[in-house]
Amino acid sequence: MFALIDCNNFYASCERLFKPEFNGVPVIVLSNNDGCVIARSNEAKELGIKMGAVFYMIEQEIKDHKIAVFSSNYTLYGDMSARVMTNIARFSPDVEVYSIDECFIKVPVTTGYEKFAHDVRNAVIKNTGIPVSVGIAPTKTLAKLANKMCKRTGGVCVLDTEDVITAALKEYQVEDLWGIGRAYATQLIKIGINTAADLRGMPIGFIQEKLTIQGVRMWNELWGKSCIPLSDIIERKKGLCTSRAFSKLTNSIDDLREATVNYASRLALKLRRDNSCATVLSIRLLTNRFKTDKPQAYPSISISLVHPVNNTHDIVAAALSGLEKIYLPGYMFQKVEVMATGLIPETEVQLNLFSSFNGVLNDKLSKIMDDINSHYGVGTLRIASESLKPHWAMKRKYLSPNYTSKWADILKVK
């Protein structure tokens, strides 16, 4: 049996955890630069606030209904996610973290599934304060379906018999199935397949003809045959990227240099945390495609690094050299993107026999920076051209403190 544990309205729940006065109050969380809605509490959903709604277009509605607004705080959400997953891992050695707010586990018990689900749910809520839903079923697809039904069953749903599974499939819309995209859903509904039960009732030949191999696996899983195993191996990333939109457009090369240094430094830190080295570095500038009255350009360059590296100084130097080559005067840019590809494990780096390499010294320097910043806080030691509070930085007017990861932001109790 598989269980899917999903955090309820995760971003909104993280914000409420440290501001309980917003319990029962509609809450929304905004995307980068406070652009649009990316998370909503149940109360906000009931008011009709749509996912992806543009913030400035619903400001009056927010005032009328006294909706609490937060800028996205991914540092806080990432830390709370780690705490939730750590608590879940106490109940099973087989865990697959599927996203920041949900994971699959292999259920270690053979009976008493409902009690097990309640035990997991209660432990996570007690130890982290984040409400979760737990769906249990014979396959991952059915566990996903069971989790969706938790809203009607008090946070826990177990599909453990054929009769229970069949009844659930008859109520479940085909477009909500895990693995059925909008295009497939439209095609299926046109030919009268409206529920998961309708799809399961089709012959295998129809599934093979109309859907991909993933569809065949899903069909088998709806019949209780596990075809999607739990993935307990974290696949090595093929690429890493840092990119943020500016709070305002700029054509200043100095602003772009500063942003490139900031993003390249973050990228280097990501590489070191991933124990990877980059062999190719790509830099791209982007104008705002929605500003149709302004000239558009998306210059980019990919640089093959002489030696695979992950230290800050080499990554920053390569990024700046790329920026100088692609910068176009006269264009108003909205974003700089710095991407590392061709990643290899840092234990498998092969040096170039025909070029000098200062990476050993720079690697040691980056290690010292990481140790100091880990102890005293992010940005304590940084490259001189890297700004902590640049004027072009993202607009995050409603940003909450980093309660769990920054000493200055820890809640004070009198």
Domain termination residue (choose one: 118, 150, 182): 150
Tell me the per-residue pLDDT of 69-123, one tens digit each, with 9 for 90 and over.
999 999 999 999 999 999 999 999 999 998 999 999 999 988 899 999 999 999 9
Looking at the fold, whether 132 and 55 belong to one and the same domain comes out as: yes
Looking at the fold, whether 9 and 117 belong to one and the same domain comes out as: yes
**pLDDT at residue number 405:** 83
Domain termination residue (choose one: 110, 125, 150): 150
355: pLDDT strictly greater than 70: no
> Could you tell me which residues come within 8 angstroms of residue 179 by beta carbon, excluding any fewer than 6 positions away?
141, 214, 215, 217, 218
Looking at the fold, whether 209 and 312 belong to one and the same domain comes out as: no
Is residue 399 situated within a structural domain? Answer: no
Measured at the alpha carbon of residue 306, what is the angle toward residues 301 and 308, in degrees to the nearest 5?
95
Write the DSSP string, 123-162. HHHHHH---EEEEEESSHHHHHHHHHGGGGTTTEEE--SH
**pLDDT at residue number 223:** 92
Is residue 49 situated within a structural domain? Answer: yes
Looking at the fold, whether 28 and 83 belong to one and the same domain comes out as: yes
The dihedrals phi and psi of 232, each to the nearest 5 degrees, come to: -105, 10
Looking at the fold, whether 128 and 248 belong to one and the same domain comes out as: no
pTM above 0.85, yes or no: no
- The CATH number assigned to the domain holding 353 equals 3.30.1490.100
**pLDDT at residue number 32:** 85
| Confidence tier at 232 by pLDDT (50, 70, 90) | low
Measured at the alpha carbon of residue 146, what is the angle toward residues 94 and 107, in degrees to the nearest 5?
25
Is residue 232 situated within a structural domain? Answer: no
Domain termination residue (choose one: 124, 150, 176): 150
**pLDDT at residue number 266:** 92
Q: What is the average pLDDT score of the chain? A: 90
Looking at the fold, whether 100 and 169 belong to one and the same domain comes out as: no
What's the Cα-to-Cα distance from 111 to each of 90, 108, 114, 136, 314, rounded to whole Å? Answer: 18, 9, 9, 12, 56
Looking at the fold, whether 325 and 355 belong to one and the same domain comes out as: yes
Q: Give the residue numbers spanning the domain of 273.
A: 239-376
Number of folded domains in the chain? 3
Tell me the per-residue pLDDT of 302-324, one tens digit each, with 9 for 90 and over.
999 988 999 999 999 999 999 99
Looking at the fold, whether 317 and 187 belong to one and the same domain comes out as: no
3-state secondary structure of 46: helix
129: pLDDT strictly greater than 70: yes
Q: Which of these ranges, 158-172, 200-214, 327-341, has the smallest mean pLDDT?
A: 200-214
Write the DSSP string, 344-384. EEGGG----TTS---HHHHHHHHHHHHHHHHHH-TTSS--T
- The CATH number assigned to the domain holding 77 equals 3.30.70.270
Is residue 335 situated within a structural domain? Answer: yes
Looking at the fold, whether 92 and 167 belong to one and the same domain comes out as: no
| Confidence tier at 234 by pLDDT (50, 70, 90) | low
Looking at the fold, whether 352 and 268 belong to one and the same domain comes out as: yes
Looking at the fold, whether 247 and 320 belong to one and the same domain comes out as: yes
